[in-house]
Amino acid sequence: MLEDPIVAEVRRIREQLAARFNYDVHAMFAHMRSQESQYGARLIRQPPRQTASPPPVKDSTLENSSSAS
């Protein structure tokens, strides 16, 4: 299978960043947060997406107690 050059570049940069922060996810995200505050005006902020409410769960204990009487 041919290697996609864009995917290869993303993976290479990801590896460099991880190594820069000694593979510490918390340190990586702390750095990203500091970058956000520094360059916040350049970032696109999207409102949270609305999600559908899950259907109500039917309580089976009520059915079992009424049929047992």
Residue 50 included in any domain: no
Residue 29 included in any domain: yes
Residue 38 included in any domain: yes
Q: What is the pLDDT along the chain (69 residues), one digit of tens a residue?
A: 788 999 999 999 999 999 999 999 999 999 988 888 888 777 777 888 888 887 788 877 666 655 555
Residue 34 included in any domain: yes
Q: Residue 61 corresponds to which tokens in the numbers above? A: 């204990």
Check residue 43 and report its DSSP letter: S
Question: Residue 36 belongs to what domain range?
Answer: 18-42
Residue 53 included in any domain: no
Domain total of the chain: 1
d(CA 9, CA 69): 68
